Structure 1
Amino acid sequence: MLEVDREQVVAYRIAAQGLHRSERDAAKLAVFDLGLQSTQRDTAAIALAARLDGEVTEESFVDDDRFVPAWTHRGAPHFHRAGELPAVTRALVPLGEPDAMARMGWQRRQVEAAGMTATDALFAAARAIRQVVDRPMTKGAVSTEITKIVPPGLSYWCRGCQATHVLEQVMRLAAIHGGARLEAGAFPATLAPVAGRPRLRTTPDAKAATAVVANYLHLHGPATPTEAAGFVGTTAKAVQEMWPSEPAEVRFEGRKRFIPAADVDLLSNPPEPDLVRLLPPWDPYLQARDRATLVPEKARQKEVWKILGNPGVVLAGGEVAGTWRTKGTGRKRLDFTFTLLDPLPAAARKAAEAEAERVAKVRGFGDLRVVWG
């Protein structure tokens, strides 16, 4: 069994995620095999800029009809290759009731109290969304209309809005099954019918679900079933039903972990991660569920992954060496503040400032001011 150390694992993931910036075609980037999360405005385009050899702008990415955003993994918004959205939808059909309930995540108790199974709740909401979303509609408008249709147990009184809403996580998980995607670049969040709008599928597709786990192992391996389950939003037991056949076993930090057999050579001898990249909040690299591998110190983990308002990170020489935040002055100047966790040599600082200029261009700012904290 191959035994690897942290440096190998980090270098492997940087290479697997395309951070050596050797690809010019966004559609060929491996991160789209899982989907590119876009939780905050511009984050997806900034993640592309960290990987793509060539200029990236928010407009060019949003207008690229090869990609489509939708609420998918864990109900979070992700960009997917448009042609793969049907397979992604099939992969998100729960394999059974325990899987369906686990995916309800933070609203599991409300679903349990609704007087129906999580599977029934999911597809009741999906049918309501299919009935309502026949044109682009804001998230608020969709919520209002489907709340009138879904069983009462799937809604709640919102004090802040002084209105009754469908459960947020149920709506997010159900949207893709209801044939609804997100409108790229729209604010507030806007749903629209998926092109071709395939019929509602309620039958599980273990093969499609297995592909998600296999892609997680490729991008974030070597990993455990529990870590893969964390990305999917389910339990380790459910992931066993999605587990790829014959992955390679490796030993890392005293534990048996797994990686696709085709990736063993790259893991054994990954290229040196001698690069500087600025990663946005929720970048694919930061989606690994073993955060201690990326940032060993717990205090530093709290600086990178916050309850609210994650910063971007500075990746230098394979390490998360700092964080960054920005503040725009109108649409003219972007103020860029770095907060270092480790000292950076002058060459790395210069490279980070060049990456900051790249981020500013992505966001459409012509002027940049950098502050080192």
Structure 2
Amino acid sequence: MRTLTKEQVLRCQRHAHHLDKKLPRKQRLEAVSACGLVNSPPGSWELAMAVRVAALTRDDLRSDLIETKSLMQTWSLRGAPTIFPTAEAGTFLNALAAQPDEVPIYAQPLSYTAQALAAHRHELLEALRQACAVLEHKTIVGKAQLDHDLAEAMKPFLPKTVRDHADEPSLVAENQTLLEAAVSYLLRQCALEGRVMMGERQGNQPAFTSPAVWFDHPLDRSAPPRQIVEKFLHCYGPATVQDFARWSGCGLPQAKRLWALTEADRVEIEVEGKRGWMLEADLPLLESLPPESPSIQLLGPHDPFLDLPQRGWILPDKSAQKKVWRTVGSPGVVIRDTQIIGFWNARVQREKTAVQFTLFETLDEEKRFQVQTEMAQLQTFLGRSLGTCRFVE
């Protein structure tokens, strides 16, 4: 077993996330390919791309997602809307689809709804698979409308004992039926099976369609399942199977099945007394990567780099961690030399953005100017101008 310092590992992790040096614009798909980009809240993937790719425009991203369709968006990691290269659908979809004896991603809470419906999960899932065929004939706008339309389309494939309860009130949300709630829980598995995806947004609403319709052909989902674990380890190793389960959203049995596929490709590493696994192929990076030059960097809310299992490496103060990693409404962060030194929140009013930076340590005027310059560049990328900047220490 090899012993490494956290500085060595962080240098590799930042390199894997393309945060040590921006990619050229023509290589922008590499930034998405690294570990996918969870797009929740909507638009967060754009900020993640802006800090990884030089001279990028939002038109580039729209072209990749809507026109050339070299990128696609559907539910994947942790059951959240995720953007990834279309050519890697097998890695970000098929690999994460649960086998019959495994609980699908996002479906863990389904049991109470299934019990109220007097139905079994497999029965509901098979009916939903059949119902997804409606997406081959029409685009559905809005998530609530999608749940409703698919629930209605499921009914002919369900026994009367289940249909009798289908329109009863949901146990988890207002203005939702039991069957619509079941659809919401199980849609992630159908997305991973290549049956539903997001198309072009209609105003502020997502639009849903079938991949076969969107691309005019079925998705190629034939990539080896081990590749999703390899991507995780490349970006977040050294890590454990439990870390992989949290990042992917898989239940532990499914995570262990996928993890085992990489047994021959990973090595155990110790950092500050804690053990984890890295890809053996990444070890040469420890010697070849040069030290990063001192810099200040802004990352947007929910940036993939913030999914590191080792939060204490980039922000040791546990009270400060609670302010950065929130259940709802996580902020963006200010990073200096691999360490989080503060966070930021933005509010848009009349095309101008007011930003507040809350700092964990003092910055001199020169560093504050760097922070403001970085923020102004991000706002320009978003098509807005930077209004006020306030620093709180």
Q: Identify if the C-alpha distance between structure 1 residues 289 and 185 changes in structure 2 by more than 3 Å, giving closer, same or farther.
A: farther
Count of residue pairs brought into register by the alignment: 366
Q: Which residue of 2 aligns with 1:144?
A: 148
The one of 332, 338, 349 aligned to 1:312 = 332
Q: Which residue of 2 aligns with 1:335?
A: 354
- Assess if the C-alpha contact under 8 Å between 1:88 and 1:208 holds in 2: no
Q: Which residue of 2 aligns with 1:36?
A: 37
CA deviation string 1:39-58 (max 9, x = no partner): 0232111101111122332x
> What letter corresponds to residue 71 of structure 1 in structure 2?
W
Q: Which residue of 2 aligns with 1:293?
A: 313
CA deviation string 1:151-202 (max 9, x = no partner): 547886248643412332322332342522112454212112212353899x
Q: Which residue of 2 aligns with 1:180?
A: 196
Deviates more, 1:59-68 or 1:169-178: 169-178
Q: How many Å separate the matches in 2 of 1:261 and 1:68?
A: 30
Residue 231 in structure 1 maps to residue 247 in structure 2: yes
- Assess if the C-alpha contact under 8 Å between 1:62 and 1:184 holds in 2: no
Residue 353 in structure 1 maps to residue 360 in structure 2: no
Q: How many Å separate the matches in 1 of 2:122 and 2:303?
A: 30
- Assess if the C-alpha contact under 8 Å between 1:312 and 1:325 holds in 2: yes
Q: Which residue of 2 aligns with 1:250?
A: 269
DSSP 3-state at the match of 2:367: helix
CA deviation string 1:274-296 (max 9, x = no partner): 33221111111012234333333
Deviates more, 1:230-239 or 1:256-265: 230-239
1:70 Cα offset (Å): 1.0
Residue 157 in structure 1 maps to residue 169 in structure 2: yes
What's the Cα RMSD here? 2.8
Q: Which residue of 2 aligns with 1:61?
A: 61
Superposed, 1:87-126 pairs within 5 Å as: 87-98=91-102, 100-101=103-104, 103-107=106-110, 109-111=112-114, 118-126=121-129
Q: How many Å separate the matches in 1 of 2:107 and 2:87?
A: 27
Deviates more, 1:360-369 or 1:286-295: 286-295
DSSP 3-state at the match of 1:47: helix
Q: How many Å separate the matches in 2 of 1:169 and 1:26?
A: 36
Q: Which runs of 4+ in 1 moved over 6 A?
A: 153-156
Q: How many Å separate the matches in 1 of 2:277 and 2:199?
A: 36
1:236 Cα offset (Å): 3.6
Q: Identify if the C-alpha distance between structure 1 residues 368 and 63 changes in structure 2 by more than 3 Å, giving closer, same or farther.
A: farther
Q: How many Å separate the matches in 2 of 1:154 and 1:103?
A: 20
Q: Which residue of 2 aligns with 1:7?
A: 7
1:79 Cα offset (Å): 0.8
Deviates more, 1:145-154 or 1:222-231: 145-154
- Assess if the C-alpha contact under 8 Å between 2:297 and 2:336 holds in 1: yes
The one of 220, 226, 251 aligned to 2:236 = 220
* Structure (1 or 2) with the greater helix fraction: 2
- Assess if the C-alpha contact under 8 Å between 1:225 and 1:239 holds in 2: yes
Superposed, 1:183-194 pairs within 5 Å as: 183-186=199-202, 187-194=204-211
1:101 Cα offset (Å): 4.7
> What letter corresponds to residue 129 of structure 1 in structure 2?
C
Amino-acid identity (%): 21
1:22 Cα offset (Å): 3.2
Deviates more, 1:254-263 or 1:361-370: 361-370
1:67 Cα offset (Å): 1.2
1:92 Cα offset (Å): 2.5
Highest RCO, 1 vs 2 (Cα 8 Å, sep ≥ 6): 1
> What letter corresponds to residue 210 of structure 2 in structure 1?
P
Q: How many Å separate the matches in 2 of 1:45 and 1:217?
A: 24
1:270 Cα offset (Å): 4.3
- Assess if the C-alpha contact under 8 Å between 1:45 and 1:362 holds in 2: no
> What letter corresponds to residue 61 of structure 2 in structure 1?
F
